[in-house]
Amino acid sequence: MPRRNKLFITPTLATVIGGFVAMTAAAILIIQVMTSNALLRQLGGELVDLGLDSAETALIEQLHAITEAGSYSAAAWSKNTAGFDDPELLLSYLYGSLSPMEQVSFLVLVDENGVGVEVERGDNDGTFQGGKIDLSRNASALSPIAQKAEADGAPFWYTPVFIPERQLTYYVFSHPLFRDGAFDGTMMIGMSLDRLSDIMAHISTDDITVFLMKEDSLEIVAHPHLRKNFAALGKAGQLPHVSEGPDTFLSEMEQMQRLDSPSFDISPDLDLQSGIAPNGEKRFVILQKQNRKLDGLPVRIGAHFPAAYLDQPLEQLAAAVAAGVGLLLLSMGGAILLARRITQPVKRASTAAKEVADLKFDRISPLPPSIIRELDDLSRGFNSMLGGLTAFNRYVPRTLVQRLLREGRIDAPPEEREVAVLFSDIVGFTAMSEGMSASETADFVNHHLSLLGAEITRYGGTIDKYIGDSIMAFWGAPDHLDNAAEAAALAALGMARAIRQDNVNRVEAGQRPVAIRIGVHMGPLVVGDIGAPERVNYTVIGDTVNAASRLESLGREIDPDADAIILVSQEISRRLGPEIDQNPIGPHAVKGRLEPLEVVRLKP
């Protein structure tokens, strides 16, 4: 809109307030009574639908990880990249698959005779255990699942099964494995019902209780109050009926009044009922009639919540409106309404300014234009400033700037610190980039650096610089870390996992997999602003940097064919916990150092 059409605050405010004073109290009262109740119900219905959809999405994310693990295993089997002839390799694969799926209790791979390997997560302490398994001896309850997988030839969720050896009830996802078109075995992924209840507890809030029921039944599958209580269930996957469950409100569900969902602007695919909780509060229950999105898991999701979300009493609304009748209150209401319209852009600018102070530019949306001249000038000026700061922030470590802001300084003088330094490099990058155009090479390098950079940031590291396809990063500056060595090692392991996962996608797309070398060393360094007064770089210098770089280069001698090799010095290794798998490979001379380095290899 041209600037000549912009309005000024003072005349606009005076004109609008004068118009509001001329309105009658009766008109406002009628409009409020006729529209507010319907509006509240509509907004409440949309809120309920959105809440249930959000809960369903959160559960789908957990289930998708399980079905994807089964699909990935079947694909590996069909390509002859895995088999029962190497149990140790299968165990390693199961350990790696189970680690990120916190909701999964066990993974089992068995051949057509029910013999294979398993890895389970202890339900009490979460400790992984793995070894060989024979279903006929160790877990006969799983035998029918393996038989069904062979008969059906397609993945499926099995009905709840009680495993006496574990004294727990599970939902098991089964995926048949084929080699050369013939059935070769079964992968089973078990999720105990107490872990499902953990998910429900995570999704629920103080007011909204989310639960799962078996399809076409009133048997409870998962509920926040049933966490860690499913061990007492009987054999054959017996589930508690809603009338016998721990939720005293839901126990009366069969006697509750069934309501018309569309009248509350709720999807007709949901059942809506109302009842009175033991504390006298009126509550509503919504329950899916049938689920169509949960990857075949035979359950339906439901929730109960305070009736006030949908059923605001009309009498209270009318009393509140009547109390506000009067020309004076009407004029005040008009002033408040106008003030809100005027101050909303200012509030947005204030909130955005706080995010700017914290350097959280990714959370900030540009301010919209306004018909008020002063507010429009504010929006345009702020958006210009935000664009400049966003561009500037890409070149400076955020943690450094935040520290300088906290301490009220504009520079970071060099100082000596104990710092962990990491170098990473793509193996054979020159050969890989042959045949790529300039834009393809840039896209490949940017994607690669984004994957690794995310892991460095995740574990509190500072990216010093990108050197072509290589990364240099460090831990322990500008902020002190309790264990910079462990943070650097965990970042290196995360980088290896990220590369391996990305390689799966690359191979599926017909591209060459990427192999990387990583070196990590720790020692005293000079860290701070280095450079000319008009152009400085916050970086680290010293022999520790050279040693980390040499460790990365040493990877080509230790294991040139590895897809990801991580070599660390003894200074890093001795600061790591037992949960990190280490393989000492002895002292090695590296270029530029008289004394050999004690080298340790970390296993991703």
Identify the three-state secondary structure at position 555.
helix
Q: 64 or 572: whose pLDDT is higher? A: 572
Domain boundaries, the chain: 1-325, 409-602
Q: 3-state secondary structure string, 299-346?
A: EEEEEEEEHHHCCCCHHHHHHHHHHCCCHHHHHHHHHHHHHHHHHHHH
Which of 449, 551, 454 is closest to 494 using CA atoms? 454
DSSP string, 474-509: EESSSS--TTHHHHHHHHHHHHHHHHHHHHHHHHHT
Average pLDDT, the chain: 77
CATH architecture of 409-602: 2-Layer Sandwich (3.30)
Task: State the pTM of this model.
Answer: 0.46
Contact 310, 284 (CB under 8 A): yes
Work out the average pLDDT over 475-499. 90
pLDDT confidence bin for 402, thresholds 50/70/90: low
Average pLDDT over residues 132-155: 88
pLDDT for 596 equals 85
Sheet holding 299-306, edge to edge: 220-222, 209-214, 299-306, 282-288, 270-276, 257-259
User: Which of 113-117, 298-302, 319-323, 507-511 is predicted least confidently?
Assistant: 319-323
**pLDDT at position 361:** 59
Query: What's the token pair of residue 212?
Result: 């799962």
Q: Which comes out higher in pLDDT, residue 344 or 318? A: 344
Which region, left, alpha or beta, applies to residue 345 given φ > 0 means left and ψ of -120 to 50 means alpha?
Answer: alpha
Q: Which two tokens stand for residue 497?
A: 């996992």
Average pLDDT over residues 186-207: 84
The per-residue pLDDT for 409 is 45
Lowest mean pLDDT among 36-40, 176-180, 265-269, 495-499: 36-40
With beta carbons less than 8 A apart as the criterion, state whether 165 and 83 touch: no
Q: What is the mean pLDDT of residues 273-302?
A: 82
3-state secondary structure of 561: coil
Confidence of residue 314 (pLDDT cuts 50, 70, 90): very low
Which of the four pLDDT bands, split at 50, 70 and 90, describes residue 406?
low
d(CA 383, CA 560): 50
CATH superfamily label, 1-325: PAS domain (3.30.450.20)
* Interval 412-452: pLDDT, tens: 567 888 999 999 999 988 778 777 888 888 889 899 988 99
Question: What is the pLDDT averaged over residues 329-335?
Answer: 61
- Angstrom distance (rounded) from CA 123 to CA 198: 12
Residue 12 confidence class, pLDDT cut points 50, 70, 90: low
Residue 332's pLDDT band (cuts 50, 70, 90):
low
CA 170 – CA 192 distance, rounded (Å): 4
pLDDT digits (tens, 9 = 90+) for 210-245: 888 888 888 888 888 876 555 554 444 567 888 887
Please indicate whether the domains covering 1-325 and 409-602 agree at the CATH topology level: no
DSSP letter (8 states) at residue 594? S
pLDDT for 339: 58
Which residue from 129, 121, 78 is spatially nearest to 103, judged by alpha carbons?
121
Q: pLDDT-derived band of residue 356, with 50, 70 and 90 as boundaries?
A: low
State the Cα torsion 572-575-579-580 to the nearest 10°: 0
Q: Tokens standing for 31?
A: 């409009």
- Highest mean pLDDT of the ranges 88-92, 287-291, 381-385: 88-92
Three-state secondary structure call for residue 78: helix
- Between residues 531 and 510, the one the model is more confident about: 510
For residues 484 and 475, what is the distance between their CA atoms, to the nearest angstrom? 5
234 backbone φψ class: left, alpha, beta (φ>0; ψ -120 to 50): beta
Read off the pLDDT of residues 580-603 as tens digits, 9 standing for 90 and up.
Answer: 999 999 888 777 666 788 899 998
DSSP of 142-203: GHHHHHHHHHH-S-EEPPPEEETTTTEEEEEEEEEEEETTEEEEEEEEEEEHHHHHHHHHHH
One-letter amino acid for residue 403 of the chain: R
- 3-state helix/strand/coil string of 269-300: CEEEEEEECCCCCEEEEEEECCCCCCCCCCEE
pLDDT at position 29:
52
Q: Which residues pair with 13 in a beta bridge?
A: none
Under the banding of pLDDT at 50, 70 and 90, the label for residue 61 is: confident
Number of other CB atoms surrounding residue 311 within 10 Å: 17
**30 pLDDT higher than 90:** no
